[in-house]
Amino acid sequence: MAFPINRPRRLRRTDGLRRMVRETRLVPENLILPLFVCPGRDVKRAVESMPDVAQLSVDNAAREARETFATGVPAVILFGLPERKDPQGSEAWKDSGVVQNAIREIKERVPEMVVITDVCLCEYTDHGHCGVIAGKDVDNDATLELLAREALSHARAGADMVAPSDMMDGRVGAIRRTLDQNGFANTPIMAYSAKFASAFYGPFREAAESTPQFGDRRSYQMDPANGDEAMREVAMDLEEGADIVMVKPALPYLDLIYRVKQEFNCPLAAYSVSGEYSMIRAAGRNGWIDEQRATLEVLTAIKRAGADMILTYFAKDVARLLRP
C-alpha cells in the first residue's frame, strides 16, 4: 500500500469523486426534532440560550411539526411545560396535559409524523428532579409507577413511541409491563440508556424550565467518566424491552456511540443536546465559526460513530440544507 503506487488524493480531486466514495450520508429520515410545548394559544416564546428555539403552544407546535415533516424529517419528540408543578409531577399523566393535547393535534394534522414523547418528571415537579423525593434524594422505586402512568397516558393520547429520560433503574421494564397490560404491546420504547450528568443540558433547562431547585442529578444520571457502565446500562435496558437505545449527549461521547453499535448492533439514537446546539449557534453568530459547515460536520461525525438516528434542534435546518 505504498506511495507512490497509492495516492489517496486521487479520489478527492473533484466533488463528483468525493461524493462517489463518501461513506456516511446524513439524511433527513434519520433526524428527530425536539419540541417544547407550553400552555396557551398562539404562544411562541423564544428560549434565550437557544437561538431559533421557542416554547410553542399546541397550535404552534402542530404547525411546526407540519413544516418539519415537509422538509423530510419524519419524527418529533415532545417535552411539556405544565400549567402547574407539584411534588409528584402529576400533570405528567393528565389526559388534558399539554403533551397529550399536542400528540392528538399533531396526529390529526400530520398523521404520518412519528410522534415520540419524552417520559420524565423534571418538567412537572416543583423541585425539578426527575422523580419523587424521599429525604434528600430521588426515590427510585416509588418513581417507577409514576413514569409508567405518564408513558401510558402518552400512548393513550396516540404517541407512536415513548422515550424515558429519567435514569431510574428498572423504568424500561416498568413502562413495558404497563403498556403491555393496557393494550399497547406494539408501542416501542426509546430508552435514554446511557445518559450522563452533563453540563451540556444547561440551555435545555431554560427551555423546559426544569432546573433542579436543590442539588443536582448526579445520583441518577451517569458519571461522564464511565464507559463500561454505559454498556451495562444499555444491556439492562435491552433486557427490559427497549426497542431503541440512546447515548446522550452525543459529541463528547462518540466513543460510546461507537461501542454500543459494535457491542449490541441494535437501533441506536444519539441526542445532540442543547449545549451542543447553543455552542455552534453562538460561535456562528459571533462569526467565529461557519455555522452550517460545523453543524453538518458534527452530525455526520455522530452518524459515522454509529448512530442510526440523531435528535437535534438543527433537524429542520439541516433537512433543508440537504435538499438536492
Catalytic residues: 195, 248
The yes or no reply on residue 312 touching ligand PBG (CB under 6 A) is: no
HSE (CB half, 13 Å, CA atoms) of 14?
Answer: 3
The yes or no reply on residue 204 touching ligand PBG (CB under 6 A) is: yes
- Grid coordinates in use for 123? 418538567
What's the closest the beta carbon of residue 185 comes to ligand PBG, in angstroms? Answer: 25
Residue closest to ligand PBG (Cβ): 204
The yes or no reply on residue 120 touching ligand PBG (CB under 6 A) is: yes
CA 197 from centre of chain? 15
The yes or no reply on residue 150 touching ligand PBG (CB under 6 A) is: no
Which residue, 230 or 263, has its beta carbon nearer to ligand PBG?
230
Fill in the per-residue mask, 41 to 80: x = in contact with ligand PBG (CB under 6 A), - = not in contact.
----------------------------------------
Interacting residue with ligand PBG among 53, 116, 130, 247 (CB under 6 A): 130
Burial code (b: 16+ CB inside 10 Å, e: under 16) for 250-275 equals bbebbebbbbbbeebeebbbbbbbbb
The yes or no reply on residue 118 touching ligand PBG (CB under 6 A) is: yes
Q: Which region holds residue 6: left if phi is over 0, alpha if psi is between -120 and 50, else beta?
A: beta
User: How far apart (Å, rounded) are the C-alpha atoms in residues 168 and 247?
Assistant: 16
Query: How far is the first Cα of the chain from the last one, in angstroms, to the nearest whole number?
Result: 36
The yes or no reply on residue 274 touching ligand PBG (CB under 6 A) is: yes
User: How far apart (Å, rounded) are the C-alpha atoms in residues 162 and 115?
Assistant: 9
The yes or no reply on residue 273 touching ligand PBG (CB under 6 A) is: yes
The yes or no reply on residue 194 touching ligand PBG (CB under 6 A) is: no
**How many distinct helices (H) and strands (E) make up the chain?**
11, 12
**Interface with ligand PBG (CB under 6 A):** 118, 120, 122, 130, 165-166, 201, 204-205, 217, 273-274
